[in-house]
Amino acid sequence: MIVAVADQSAIAQARRMATVVAREVGFDETASGRVAIVTTEMATNLLKHAQTGHVAIDRVMDPGGDGIQIMAFDKGPGILDLARALEDGYSTAGSPGSGLGAIRRLADDFAVYSRPDKGTILLARLRRGGAEAGLGLVQVGAVVDPYPGETESGDGWAMVEPDIGPMFMMIDGSGHGPAAALVARTAATAFQSLRNSNCVEVTEALHRTLGPTRGGAAAVAYIDRPNRLVRFVGVGNIAAAMVSDGQMRRMVSHNGILGHAAPRIREFTYPFGNDVGLILHSDGLSSKWELSDYPGIMAQHPSLLAGALVRDHRRSRDDASVVVAKAKV
Ligand SMILES: [Mn+2]
């Protein structure tokens, strides 16, 4: 969920939201306290250095373990000297400046993407089990933000990591609110229980499962390591792209509403080279973006690109979700 930060009251709002998610994840008092400090520092930094921006709070569910992700993004002046900004006691705003150094110390994962005059994306993750020690062959970053005024999102995503490679599913339940959220939950639960690496069979199974619901747009993407292919099935409007060796290719979906009308469930394959990345997002984001707008970002934590796309391409009247993954090959 995303909070717009333009004044002091938004700092408390972001902190409250983070505390709720921390409780959902099962953090104890001490860990929840750390989450509150990190969120407060990040929101305060936005006001100080960029005047306005957004804080995104997301639950983390990936191979590194359960936790919470707090991201702050702005279109401010950028951090001109990152090394210096990370020093304790240093602040460009002339305050005591515990800022970035404190956030980095308290977080299990910390990353920054900043460009002069284009703004900054700051990532902090805190995990129940500590740092991303359990992180295996895939690194995942995501942001989900409900329709304005709704508390639950009709967009959702899930991943499974069969022995042979990671597989991702994104769903955009038709409409918004509780009925759309039911679609998202139903699809995620079904996807995780299937554990089948055949994208067409998975999509057909989701189509049957979603029959009694409103249905929605959905995509399934599988990084098939043995065959060095990304396998992709898309029904309806989920934007998808794969990245390898610095080149991005958009992947093809067919029209339809999964659960109701899915006239073509067809797999497309895209070969990859020395590395592979995956980007999936719902139509809560415009698809008019280029990876070249964010030089070097794929070399960093994938949540930073998710944050950048939400910052620059969020449409206001819809649920929004974006997942970025990087896999070792
Ligand atoms: Mn949508």
pLDDT tens string 251-305: 999 999 999 998 889 999 999 999 999 999 999 999 999 999 999 999 999 999 9
Residue 136: pLDDT band (50, 70, 90) is low
Average of per-residue pLDDT across 60-79: 90
- Residue 201 scores a pLDDT above 60: yes
Residue found by looking up tokens 């999936």 in the block = 280
Distance 281 CA to ligand 1 centre (A): 10
Does CATH number 3.40.50.720 belong to domain 136-327? no
Neighbours of ion ligand 1 (CB under 5 A): 172, 282-283, 318
Residue 191: pLDDT band (50, 70, 90) is very high
Distance 292 CA to ligand 1 centre (A): 25
Distance 134 CA to ligand 1 centre (A): 33
Distance 109 CA to ligand 1 centre (A): 30
Residue 314: pLDDT band (50, 70, 90) is very high
Nearest to 236 by CA among 219, 222, 217: 217
- Residue 95 scores a pLDDT above 70: no
- Can you give the pTM of this predicted structure? 0.94
Fold of the CATH domain 2-133 = Heat Shock Protein 90 (3.30.565)
Distance 263 CA to ligand 1 centre (A): 20
Average of per-residue pLDDT across 227-247: 97
Query: Using the 8-state DSSP alphabet, how is residue 314 labeled?
Result: B
Distance 108 CA to ligand 1 centre (A): 32
The pLDDT, as a whole number, for residue 134 is 47
The pLDDT, as a whole number, for residue 320 is 98
3-state secondary structure of 41: helix
Distance 317 CA to ligand 1 centre (A): 9
Distance 216 CA to ligand 1 centre (A): 9
**Residue 151 CB contacts under 8 Å (≥ 6 apart), including other chains:** none
Distance 30 CA to ligand 1 centre (A): 37
Average of per-residue pLDDT across 206-219: 98
Average of per-residue pLDDT across 312-317: 94
Distance 101 CA to ligand 1 centre (A): 38
Distance 277 CA to ligand 1 centre (A): 23
Check for a shared fold between 2-133 and 136-327: no
The pLDDT, as a whole number, for residue 195 is 87
**Residue 122 CB contacts under 8 Å (≥ 6 apart), including other chains:** 42, 45, 71, 72, 73, 100, 103, 111, 112
Domain positions in the chain: 2-133, 136-327
Quick: pLDDT tens for 30-47.
999 999 999 999 999 999
Residue 131: pLDDT band (50, 70, 90) is low
Among 54-63, 84-93, 114-123, 228-237, the minimum mean pLDDT is found in: 84-93
Distance 285 CA to ligand 1 centre (A): 8
pLDDT, mean over the chain: 92
Nearest to 145 by CA among 305, 311, 29, 288: 311
Distance 284 CA to ligand 1 centre (A): 5
Distance 283 CA to ligand 1 centre (A): 5
Q: Are 5 and 14 in contact (CB under 8 A)?
A: yes
Average of per-residue pLDDT across 305-328: 96
